[in-house]
Amino acid sequence: MQRVAKGDRGAYAALVADHLRPISAYAQRMTGSVANAEDIAQEVFLRLWLKAGEFDATRARLTTWLHQMAHNLAIDLHRKKQREVSLEVMDIPDAAVPSTPEEPVGPVAQALLQLPERQRSALALTYYQDLSNREVADIMGLSTRAVESLLVRARNAMKIQLEIAQ
């Protein structure tokens, strides 16, 4: 990271190669869109290039820092979509605004996209991104117990969506 902060493009390319897959996969699971995932990944790695000097390895792993940025961008995008839905839907407290995938996806990805934003984040970060429960809690700004509660609700909703007998 110090080399990246000093403008070493080769070091930057190596970090992009190491982290592109998990970051873009997370963005894709959150948005259901390859195009949106690409936008998010581009923005995350642009910020990595510009702000490498601000990264503090004593506070977080690099992957956690990058996931934090991807998470914030995905949430911003989700909230932009929320503003576009009718007032009727927005009046429901804590309403889940189901995302519609822009490309054909399998039943699991489809079920994931039907989850409310925070449940989707908790499940995607915990299950697919190889992050610890504390790292997920840090990224989401929640306690680990709150993340666990989201995970239980998310998994139950997934079982219903996927018609797994409970």
Partner 1 sequence: MTDELLTQERARALIMAYGADPDRWPLEHREPLSLALANDPALRACAADESKLDQLMTSEPIPLPITVDSILDFTDRTVALTDIKQTPLDLSVEPSRALLERLIDWLCFSGAHTARRGFAVAGLSLAVGIGLGLGIAVPSEDEWVASEQYVFALVEEVQADG
Which residues make up the interface to partner 1 (CB under 8 A)? 5, 7, 9, 12-13, 16-17, 20-21, 24-25, 28-29, 34, 37-38, 41-42, 45-47, 49-54, 72-73, 76, 80, 83, 105-109, 126-127, 132-133, 144, 148-149, 151-152, 155-156, 158-159, 162, 164, 166
Q: Are 12 and 4 in contact (CB under 8 A)?
A: yes
Q: Say how far apart CA 48 and CA 61 lie, in whole Å.
A: 13
Alpha helices in the chain (DSSP H): 2-5, 9-31, 34-51, 62-84, 87-90, 107-114, 117-128, 133-140, 144-161
Q: Smallest distance from the beta carbon of 49 to partner 1, in angstroms?
A: 5
The CA distance from 164 to 111, in Å, is 12
Taken in order 140, 47, 40, 129, the sign of the CA dihedral is negative
**Helical axes 62-84 vs 133-140, angle rounded to 10°:** 40
Q: What is the DSSP letter of 52?
A: G
Q: How far is the CB of 117 from partner 1 (least distance, A)?
A: 15
Question: Is 127 within 8 Å of 92 (Cβ atoms)?
Answer: no
